[in-house]
Structure 1
Amino acid sequence: MAFDKHQAYEQAINEINAILEGETNMILKMATINCVLKQHLPYYYWVGFYCVNKGQLIVGPYQGTLGCLHIPFSKGICGRAARMEATQLVENVHEDPSHIACDSRTNSEIVLPVWDNEGQLIAVFDVDSTTLASFDAVDQSYLEPLLELHFKENELIKSYQ
Protein backbone atom coordinates (compact mmCIF):
# COMPACT_ATOMS: atom_id res chain seq x y z
CA MET A 1 0.00 0.00 0.00
CA ALA A 2 1.39 3.40 -1.00
CA PHE A 3 1.96 6.05 1.64
CA ASP A 4 -0.59 8.87 1.44
CA LYS A 5 0.96 12.07 2.84
CA HIS A 6 -2.38 13.92 2.89
CA GLN A 7 -4.09 11.14 4.83
CA ALA A 8 -1.21 10.88 7.30
CA TYR A 9 -1.30 14.63 7.99
CA GLU A 10 -5.07 14.65 8.36
CA GLN A 11 -4.96 11.81 10.89
CA ALA A 12 -2.07 13.39 12.80
CA ILE A 13 -3.66 16.84 12.90
CA ASN A 14 -7.00 15.46 14.06
CA GLU A 15 -5.18 13.63 16.87
CA ILE A 16 -3.12 16.71 17.82
CA ASN A 17 -6.20 18.95 17.85
CA ALA A 18 -8.10 16.53 20.08
CA ILE A 19 -5.20 16.16 22.54
CA LEU A 20 -4.44 19.88 22.71
CA GLU A 21 -7.99 21.18 22.96
CA GLY A 22 -7.92 23.85 25.66
CA GLU A 23 -4.18 23.44 26.32
CA THR A 24 -2.23 26.68 26.76
CA ASN A 25 1.24 25.51 27.86
CA MET A 26 3.79 26.03 25.09
CA ILE A 27 6.05 23.12 26.12
CA LEU A 28 3.18 20.64 26.27
CA LYS A 29 2.01 21.76 22.84
CA MET A 30 5.48 21.42 21.34
CA ALA A 31 6.08 17.96 22.82
CA THR A 32 2.70 16.69 21.64
CA ILE A 33 3.06 18.04 18.11
CA ASN A 34 6.52 16.44 17.78
CA CYS A 35 5.39 13.07 19.07
CA VAL A 36 2.22 12.73 17.02
CA LEU A 37 3.73 13.95 13.75
CA LYS A 38 6.75 11.63 14.12
CA GLN A 39 4.41 8.68 14.69
CA HIS A 40 2.30 9.39 11.60
CA LEU A 41 4.92 10.56 9.09
CA PRO A 42 7.61 7.90 8.55
CA TYR A 43 10.04 10.23 6.75
CA TYR A 44 10.33 12.46 9.86
CA TYR A 45 13.81 11.57 11.16
CA TRP A 46 14.19 14.51 13.58
CA VAL A 47 11.38 16.84 14.60
CA GLY A 48 11.46 19.65 17.10
CA PHE A 49 11.33 23.26 18.09
CA TYR A 50 14.14 25.75 18.49
CA CYS A 51 12.93 28.48 20.84
CA VAL A 52 13.91 32.13 20.66
CA ASN A 53 16.05 33.00 23.68
CA LYS A 54 18.13 36.16 24.09
CA GLY A 55 18.48 36.79 20.36
CA GLN A 56 19.30 33.23 19.33
CA LEU A 57 17.62 29.84 18.97
CA ILE A 58 18.00 27.18 21.64
CA VAL A 59 16.85 23.61 21.33
CA GLY A 60 13.41 23.00 22.80
CA PRO A 61 11.23 19.91 22.84
CA TYR A 62 12.20 17.45 20.09
CA GLN A 63 12.26 13.80 19.08
CA GLY A 64 15.28 12.26 17.41
CA THR A 65 19.04 12.29 17.75
CA LEU A 66 20.84 15.06 19.64
CA GLY A 67 20.01 18.48 18.22
CA CYS A 68 22.26 21.52 18.07
CA LEU A 69 21.96 23.32 21.41
CA HIS A 70 22.38 26.93 20.21
CA ILE A 71 21.81 28.38 16.74
CA PRO A 72 22.44 32.06 16.02
CA PHE A 73 19.94 33.75 13.71
CA SER A 74 22.90 34.29 11.36
CA LYS A 75 23.64 30.55 10.90
CA GLY A 76 21.95 27.51 9.44
CA ILE A 77 18.59 26.89 7.87
CA CYS A 78 16.86 27.35 11.23
CA GLY A 79 18.58 30.68 11.71
CA ARG A 80 17.58 31.72 8.18
CA ALA A 81 13.92 30.80 8.86
CA ALA A 82 14.02 32.91 12.03
CA ARG A 83 15.85 35.82 10.38
CA MET A 84 13.62 35.87 7.28
CA GLU A 85 10.48 34.84 9.19
CA ALA A 86 9.63 32.51 6.31
CA THR A 87 9.33 28.76 5.78
CA GLN A 88 12.45 27.11 4.39
CA LEU A 89 12.12 24.00 2.19
CA VAL A 90 15.47 22.39 1.44
CA GLU A 91 15.52 19.34 -0.85
CA ASN A 92 19.23 18.63 -0.30
CA VAL A 93 20.85 20.19 2.76
CA HIS A 94 24.33 19.27 1.47
CA GLU A 95 23.85 21.76 -1.38
CA ASP A 96 22.87 24.58 0.99
CA PRO A 97 26.01 26.41 2.18
CA SER A 98 24.27 27.69 5.32
CA HIS A 99 23.27 24.21 6.57
CA ILE A 100 24.59 23.25 10.01
CA ALA A 101 25.11 19.49 10.25
CA CYS A 102 23.75 18.66 13.69
CA ASP A 103 23.37 15.09 12.37
CA SER A 104 25.18 14.07 9.18
CA ARG A 105 22.36 11.65 8.25
CA THR A 106 20.00 14.55 7.50
CA ASN A 107 19.46 15.02 3.76
CA SER A 108 16.41 17.27 3.52
CA GLU A 109 14.66 19.70 5.83
CA ILE A 110 11.69 21.99 6.37
CA VAL A 111 11.81 24.81 8.92
CA LEU A 112 8.82 27.00 9.78
CA PRO A 113 8.67 30.14 11.92
CA VAL A 114 6.30 30.08 14.92
CA TRP A 115 4.63 33.27 16.17
CA ASP A 116 2.54 34.14 19.21
CA ASN A 117 -0.65 36.25 19.35
CA GLU A 118 1.34 39.49 19.28
CA GLY A 119 3.17 38.48 16.10
CA GLN A 120 6.43 37.87 17.96
CA LEU A 121 8.66 35.08 16.71
CA ILE A 122 8.82 32.56 19.57
CA ALA A 123 10.40 29.55 17.83
CA VAL A 124 11.09 27.71 14.62
CA PHE A 125 9.74 24.23 13.93
CA ASP A 126 12.38 22.03 12.31
CA VAL A 127 11.87 18.66 10.61
CA ASP A 128 14.71 16.65 9.10
CA SER A 129 14.64 13.57 6.87
CA THR A 130 17.32 11.09 5.87
CA THR A 131 15.76 11.01 2.39
CA LEU A 132 16.39 13.71 -0.22
CA ALA A 133 13.44 15.94 -1.17
CA SER A 134 11.12 14.59 1.53
CA PHE A 135 9.38 17.92 2.09
CA ASP A 136 7.24 19.89 -0.30
CA ALA A 137 4.26 22.22 -0.53
CA VAL A 138 2.03 19.50 0.97
CA ASP A 139 4.03 19.50 4.22
CA GLN A 140 4.04 23.29 4.27
CA SER A 141 0.28 23.49 3.64
CA TYR A 142 -0.46 21.32 6.69
CA LEU A 143 2.23 22.54 9.07
CA GLU A 144 1.78 26.31 8.71
CA PRO A 145 -1.91 26.31 9.77
CA LEU A 146 -1.24 23.73 12.50
CA LEU A 147 1.41 25.93 14.09
CA GLU A 148 -0.71 29.05 13.73
CA LEU A 149 -3.69 27.36 15.37
CA HIS A 150 -1.77 26.07 18.37
CA PHE A 151 0.57 28.98 19.05
CA LYS A 152 -1.53 32.00 18.16
CA GLU A 153 -4.86 30.87 19.54
CA ASN A 154 -4.40 31.63 23.24
CA GLU A 155 -2.06 32.80 25.99
CA LEU A 156 1.16 30.84 26.21
CA ILE A 157 3.45 30.06 29.09
CA LYS A 158 6.83 31.17 27.70
CA SER A 159 9.34 29.41 29.92
CA TYR A 160 12.19 29.82 27.42
CA GLN A 161 12.11 33.63 27.27
Structure 2
Amino acid sequence: MAVNRFRSHVFILPEDDANRQLAVGFALEFDSRQIQVLREAGGWLNVCKNFESDHVQAMRNCPHRAVILLIDFDEDPDRRRSVGTRIPADLTERVFVLGTWSEPEALRRSLAATYEEIGRALARGCRQQDGSILQGELLRHNGQEIERVCAALAAVS
Protein backbone atom coordinates (compact mmCIF):
# COMPACT_ATOMS: atom_id res chain seq x y z
CA MET A 1 0.00 0.00 0.00
CA ALA A 2 1.32 3.46 -0.86
CA VAL A 3 1.68 6.21 1.70
CA ASN A 4 -0.57 9.25 1.74
CA ARG A 5 1.90 11.84 0.48
CA PHE A 6 -0.24 14.71 1.81
CA ARG A 7 0.34 13.57 5.40
CA SER A 8 3.62 13.09 7.27
CA HIS A 9 5.19 9.83 6.14
CA VAL A 10 8.50 7.99 6.22
CA PHE A 11 10.38 5.97 3.64
CA ILE A 12 12.98 3.52 4.94
CA LEU A 13 15.78 2.75 2.49
CA PRO A 14 17.62 -0.39 3.73
CA GLU A 15 21.11 -1.43 2.73
CA ASP A 16 20.41 -5.15 2.52
CA ASP A 17 17.83 -7.82 3.28
CA ALA A 18 18.70 -8.04 6.99
CA ASN A 19 18.14 -4.29 7.35
CA ARG A 20 14.93 -4.59 5.33
CA GLN A 21 13.64 -7.18 7.77
CA LEU A 22 14.49 -4.88 10.71
CA ALA A 23 12.65 -2.07 8.93
CA VAL A 24 9.59 -4.25 8.30
CA GLY A 25 9.38 -5.11 12.01
CA PHE A 26 9.77 -1.43 12.87
CA ALA A 27 7.08 -0.39 10.39
CA LEU A 28 4.60 -2.97 11.71
CA GLU A 29 4.34 -0.95 14.93
CA PHE A 30 3.13 2.17 13.08
CA ASP A 31 0.34 3.14 10.69
CA SER A 32 1.19 1.06 7.63
CA ARG A 33 -0.11 3.82 5.37
CA GLN A 34 2.52 6.22 6.64
CA ILE A 35 5.71 4.15 6.67
CA GLN A 36 6.99 2.42 3.56
CA VAL A 37 9.97 0.09 3.50
CA LEU A 38 11.71 0.35 0.15
CA ARG A 39 13.64 -2.31 -1.74
CA GLU A 40 17.16 -2.95 -0.40
CA ALA A 41 19.88 -1.00 -2.16
CA GLY A 42 22.73 -3.53 -2.02
CA GLY A 43 25.36 -1.76 0.08
CA TRP A 44 25.70 1.49 1.98
CA LEU A 45 27.19 3.31 -1.02
CA ASN A 46 24.19 2.23 -3.08
CA VAL A 47 21.90 3.57 -0.34
CA CYS A 48 23.61 6.94 -0.83
CA LYS A 49 23.42 6.77 -4.62
CA ASN A 50 19.79 5.66 -4.56
CA PHE A 51 18.92 8.44 -2.13
CA GLU A 52 20.60 11.05 -4.31
CA SER A 53 19.12 9.83 -7.59
CA ASP A 54 15.60 8.85 -6.50
CA HIS A 55 14.74 10.71 -3.31
CA VAL A 56 16.35 14.14 -3.07
CA GLN A 57 14.13 15.85 -5.63
CA ALA A 58 11.09 13.84 -4.53
CA MET A 59 11.61 15.08 -0.95
CA ARG A 60 11.86 18.66 -2.18
CA ASN A 61 8.54 18.17 -3.97
CA CYS A 62 6.97 16.47 -0.95
CA PRO A 63 7.55 18.42 2.28
CA HIS A 64 5.78 15.78 4.41
CA ARG A 65 8.32 13.05 3.59
CA ALA A 66 11.16 11.88 5.82
CA VAL A 67 13.68 9.21 4.82
CA ILE A 68 15.60 6.80 7.03
CA LEU A 69 18.81 5.51 5.48
CA LEU A 70 19.28 2.15 7.21
CA ILE A 71 22.89 0.99 6.81
CA ASP A 72 25.59 -1.13 8.38
CA PHE A 73 28.28 1.02 9.97
CA ASP A 74 30.85 -1.79 9.55
CA GLU A 75 32.60 -0.46 12.69
CA ASP A 76 33.58 2.68 10.76
CA PRO A 77 33.45 5.74 13.05
CA ASP A 78 33.30 8.02 9.97
CA ARG A 79 30.39 6.25 8.26
CA ARG A 80 27.68 8.63 9.49
CA ARG A 81 29.73 11.63 8.39
CA SER A 82 30.45 10.00 5.01
CA VAL A 83 26.76 9.40 4.41
CA GLY A 84 25.86 12.82 5.81
CA THR A 85 27.95 14.59 3.19
CA ARG A 86 25.55 13.18 0.56
CA ILE A 87 22.49 14.77 2.21
CA PRO A 88 21.66 18.27 0.93
CA ALA A 89 21.52 20.94 3.64
CA ASP A 90 17.86 21.72 2.96
CA LEU A 91 16.90 18.09 3.74
CA THR A 92 19.04 17.30 6.80
CA GLU A 93 16.13 17.75 9.20
CA ARG A 94 14.13 15.07 7.37
CA VAL A 95 16.84 12.50 6.62
CA PHE A 96 18.12 10.09 9.25
CA VAL A 97 21.10 7.74 9.14
CA LEU A 98 20.67 4.67 11.35
CA GLY A 99 22.08 1.19 11.60
CA THR A 100 24.02 -1.36 13.57
CA TRP A 101 27.61 -0.64 14.55
CA SER A 102 28.84 -3.71 12.69
CA GLU A 103 26.07 -5.60 10.90
CA PRO A 104 22.50 -6.73 11.69
CA GLU A 105 23.55 -10.37 11.94
CA ALA A 106 25.64 -9.55 15.02
CA LEU A 107 22.68 -7.68 16.53
CA ARG A 108 20.38 -10.65 15.93
CA ARG A 109 22.86 -12.96 17.65
CA SER A 110 23.44 -10.64 20.61
CA LEU A 111 19.71 -10.14 21.26
CA ALA A 112 18.73 -13.73 20.39
CA ALA A 113 15.73 -12.46 18.45
CA THR A 114 14.55 -12.29 14.85
CA TYR A 115 15.07 -9.16 12.82
CA GLU A 116 11.35 -8.46 12.89
CA GLU A 117 11.25 -8.81 16.70
CA ILE A 118 14.20 -6.41 17.02
CA GLY A 119 12.55 -3.92 14.66
CA ARG A 120 9.32 -4.09 16.65
CA ALA A 121 11.21 -3.59 19.93
CA LEU A 122 13.01 -0.55 18.49
CA ALA A 123 9.69 0.92 17.36
CA ARG A 124 8.06 0.33 20.74
CA GLY A 125 11.05 1.92 22.45
CA CYS A 126 10.72 4.89 20.14
CA ARG A 127 6.99 5.28 20.78
CA GLN A 128 7.37 4.86 24.55
CA GLN A 129 10.56 6.95 24.74
CA ASP A 130 12.40 3.98 26.22
CA GLY A 131 15.95 3.84 24.92
CA SER A 132 17.00 0.72 26.82
CA ILE A 133 17.40 -1.36 23.65
CA LEU A 134 19.84 1.26 22.35
CA GLN A 135 22.26 0.79 25.24
CA GLY A 136 24.04 -2.18 23.70
CA GLU A 137 27.32 -1.68 21.87
CA LEU A 138 25.75 -2.39 18.47
CA LEU A 139 23.12 0.37 18.67
CA ARG A 140 24.29 3.05 21.11
CA HIS A 141 25.99 5.12 18.38
CA ASN A 142 22.45 5.91 17.11
CA GLY A 143 21.52 7.83 20.29
CA GLN A 144 20.95 11.38 19.03
CA GLU A 145 19.79 10.25 15.62
CA ILE A 146 17.15 7.95 17.11
CA GLU A 147 15.84 10.86 19.22
CA ARG A 148 15.35 12.83 15.99
CA VAL A 149 13.64 9.86 14.34
CA CYS A 150 11.30 9.36 17.29
CA ALA A 151 10.28 13.02 17.18
CA ALA A 152 9.60 12.76 13.45
CA LEU A 153 7.61 9.55 13.88
CA ALA A 154 5.37 11.19 16.47
CA ALA A 155 3.79 13.06 13.53
CA VAL A 156 3.20 9.76 11.69
CA SER A 157 1.47 7.92 14.54
TM-score, with length taken from structure 1? 0.29
Structure with the larger strand share? 1
TM-score, with length taken from structure 2? 0.30
Structure with the larger helix share? 2
